[in-house]
Amino acid sequence: MAQTTFRDLHVPGKPFILANAWDIGSAKLLAALGAKALASTSAGHAFTLGQKDMGDITRDQSLSHCTDLVGATPLPVSGDLENGYGHSTDDVIKTIRGAAAVGLAGCCIEDSQLPSSKPYEFYEAVERIEAAAQAAKSLDKDFVLAARADGVMNGHYDTKEAIRRLQSFEEVGADVLYAPVPPSMDALAEICKSVNTPVNALAAGPFAKFSLEDFANIGIARISLGSALSRVIHSAIIDSAKQMFQDGDFSSFQGKASGAEVEALFDEVNLKIS
């Protein structure tokens, strides 16, 4: 039987979880615990550096980070590569080529004019995705390009405009379509029905209440986490730190995974890549 590729995982109505890792340790844990594929998270990575999301990380920093994730496990890794780290089509092409060079199996490119959340004008957004798609298809390896319409999430346009953009991204060659946090599950279902290309959903914010089955029922092919899991970890740090610094209470450390349990999971993945 042929080996399942990253592209093969994208089946509408049978979604897989694209687990966003923020460092080597989290990548290894997610792989040991059942992830089929990993992705970086721009926000999660920024948090590890004590920086904000939205354009504070450079292309070189991001690709170096992605190199670490690629080497951490045998799983395919997709890069959260923001807007391609520049406004021109040449910037996007350079990012796609760099992503492939460090071993990524795919990446996301969004339509926000980072560091602003304002979207590119429609035709410019489409032109950028077309350049990314052509660059991806010219590579000597399979590379899955996800095109993001972030204006709904950022409050700059509605679902109708998101669909217009996603349909055009599909026409110019995007392999996966993604509009993070539309207004409702019904809106997400409408997005799925409006295109023929696999659709990514974000299991965060108001969509965290839905199950894998719920996403499957509307035709989603891939479910990513964004920075949600990273923020679970940061929330635990915040809560525990408040308890110990304000109340002198260390009880939040009780009943958690031991060092031996964590190391055993690391060993499980290390054996697969040795």
The pLDDT tens digits for 246-274 are 999 999 999 999 999 999 999 999 988 87
Q: Which domains does the chain have, with CATH numbers?
A: 9-237 (3.20.20.60)
Nearest 5°: the CA angle 113, 115, 117 is 55
- pLDDT range class, residue 139, cuts 50, 70, 90: very high
Q: Are 37 and 21 in contact (CB under 8 A)?
A: no
Cis omega before residue 119 (within 30°)? Answer: no
pLDDT for 56: 80
Q: Against a cut of 0.75, is the pTM above it?
A: yes
- Asked if the model's pLDDT at residue 2 lies above 60, the reply is no
Instruction: Tell me the mean pLDDT in the region 2-14.
Output: 90
Instruction: Tell me the mean pLDDT in the region 206-215.
Output: 97
Q: pLDDT tens digit string along 156-195?
A: 999 999 999 999 999 999 999 999 999 999 999 999 999 9
pLDDT for 1: 41
pLDDT for 53: 80
- pLDDT range class, residue 52, cuts 50, 70, 90: confident
Q: pLDDT tens digit string along 14-44?
A: 999 999 999 999 999 999 999 999 999 999 9
pLDDT for 3: 66
pLDDT for 54: 74
Quick one: which of 157, 162, 148 has its CA closest to 194? 162
Cα 155 from chain centre: 20
